[in-house]
Amino acid sequence: MSGRLAGKRIAILGAGQTRGDTEGNGRAMARIFSHEGADLLLVDRDEAAARATADICAGPNAVMVADVAEEGAADRVAEAAKARWDGLDGLVYNIGIGGGGDGPAGKVSDDAWDRIMLVNLTAARRTMGALIPLLRDSGHGAIVAISSLASIAPSPMISYSVSKAGMNRLV
């Protein structure tokens, strides 16, 4: 690899891997970023998944367990980045949920709407709000937030679609 991220400090939220045969976005980015020289803070609600990602990465990366849906989780991630590096060069928000009662506007449950909005949009805003000061201080911070084609294309899952459209606007 080229080392083009050497010395960069990047927090990846959603760095673990959901079960399945393919490599997910968070793990793929962590693997590539680490092999390009970045120092990573790998954040996931599933410690075993985050540690498995750390095992395939190069470098001295840190693992942190946090569920972004919980109040204060974003602040804890910011505190961990500040304690580890006293700054931050990049943030990857690779978190999103769907299903669980989602559907067309006339059929989606309030519980599904609220949960999906909390995880996909409210937690993203909280996370960005907590980490933007560290990114600003670096003088060149960058945010990557994973959205979905459902944000711009027809979809029967209104909560998921609206949350990802909101993500686009948030960034």
Token pair listed for 137: 């201080």
User: What pTM did the predictor assign?
Assistant: 0.94
Q: What does the alpha-carbon distance between residue 112 and residue 99 come to, in Å, rounded to a whole number?
A: 8
Task: Parse the chain into domains and list their residue ranges.
Answer: 9-170
Q: What is the pLDDT of residue 76?
A: 98
Q: Which architecture characterizes domain 9-170 according to CATH?
A: 3-Layer(aba) Sandwich (3.40)
pLDDT 10s digits, 113-168 = 999 999 999 999 999 999 999 999 999 899 999 999 999 999 999 999 999 999 99
pLDDT of residue 106 exceeding 90, the answer is yes
pLDDT in tens, 35-58: 999 999 999 999 999 999 999 999
Integer angstrom CA distances of residue 135 from 45, 81, 83, 91, 123:
23, 10, 14, 8, 18
Mean pLDDT of 6-15: 96
